[in-house]
A = this chain, B = another copy of it.
Amino acid sequence: MSSQTAEPFDVERVREEFPILDREVGDGQRLAYLDNAATSQTPDRVIDAMSDYYRGTNANVHRGIHHLSQEASIAYEEAHDRLAEFVGASGGREEMIFTKNTTEGLNLVAYAWGLNELGEGDEVVLTEMEHHSSLVTWQQIAKRTDADVRYIEIDDEGRLDMDHARDVIGPDTEMVSVTHVSNTLGTINPIGDLADLAHEHDSYIFADGAQAVPHQSVDVEALDVDFYAFSGHKMCGPTGIGGLYGRKAILEAMEPFMYGGGMVRKVEFEETTWADLPWKYEAGTPLIAEGIALAEAADYLKEIGLDRIDRHERGLVEYALDRLQEFDDIEIYGPPAGERAGLVSFNLDGVHAHDLASIMNDHGVAIRPGDHCTQPLHDVLGTAASARASFYLYNTKDEVDVLVDAIDDARQLFG
């Protein structure tokens, strides 16, 4: 770790890059944006990368000869290399497909691989803490192929039960699809161990990195996963873009997902051959401005330092846990501090999470109430909804204090 990354960073300077954080909401309350697991805010330089693209370069890519198209093509194609490097994929652009979000990454593999390869007797292994984008996708593709879905259980503190994982992953397992970091519990799953288990049984492993890539340094090759997906809008990038890493050999062998311009080599009325990686998986005019801006976001995070971001967030979540644990009318879900990523879901006795969020909003505090797209996990937790505060590089301890004050206000109102 370099000395630069060992130092904490200056949060106030970081905040200057995010003009939205100065916004007032409601009756002049200062915004405390604690909904980063849903979507992150966007620094000026990423917004500018997009505006500059539209004002100076905008053109369709890949096959254009004219000046703008050459510039746009090079920038768009290089953005793939930059994202590949960002998550440790040594294959470069050939291993990095741009999708519109994590969800599309999961659907791409579920359709292109799952629908063609799964069959009766095959098993897809998920966890109880999967996000709907993984859970529903595999559930439905399994239904259509007569495959079975099995769920690795969690323990009382929201960790994966690895004994159960060893029971569940077996010779019939064809795919293990598991979230790297839980967006509800904050649990950081042992992806490397799960990859070993999967590979012992000749199964693929797909890790959902939506909550990991924005917050910690990720190396898909060290994790030894076969597929890895993430979203731009959670990592200081724009909406409408995400990345899907896939091992080159698998991507080469796999059928395409969507069909259209850009993903073909030779088209005849009766048959078609496919373009090279990664374009084979990017049908139609791609997410050009979004891809270029996503690469800018990755550079931004790299310059700040993922290790420093991670440390900053852990500091905040520890502080938040400390403060919330002062009260015995607050139930907290997930593992203890030290083991969890920078988010905390909880409930205040006698106050529905949606009411709590409304009252928070009156204080300028933006949190998320609901099931966080993990309804089955909430069934396991025994609650229909929870309130979630999730942190990012620009959040402060002061904001945690405002959060705790707002909870106190709700307690008074409903008491």
Contacts and interface: CB of A to CB of B under 8 A. Distances in A.
Secondary structure at chain A's binding surface: helix, strand, loop or mixed? mixed
A38 B50 contact: no
Contacts of A132: 259-261, 264, 267
A261 B101 CA distance: 11
Contact of A19 (B19, B41, B55): B55
A27 to B, nearest CB: 11
Nearest to A116: B144
B39 A59 contact: yes
Interface in A21-61: 23, 25-26, 31, 33, 35, 38-39, 41-42, 46-47, 50-51, 54-60
A189 interface: no
A267 B375 contact: yes
A96 interface: no
A17 to B, nearest CB: 11
Contacts of A23: 56, 68
Interface string A308-329: 0000000000000000000000
Given A47-B51, A239-B290, A366-B66, A136 B25 contact: no
Interface size class of A (residues with CB under 8 A): 35 or more
Nearest to A150: B269
A187 B35 CA distance: 50
Contacts of A203: none
A283 B25 CA distance: 29
Interface in A103-141: 103-104, 106-107, 110-111, 128, 131-133, 135-137, 139-141
A65 B20 contact: no
Interface stretch (A80-88, A171-179, A331-339, A356-364): A356-364
6 contacts: A20-B68, A31-B67, A33-B68, A35-B68, A101-B284, A132-B260
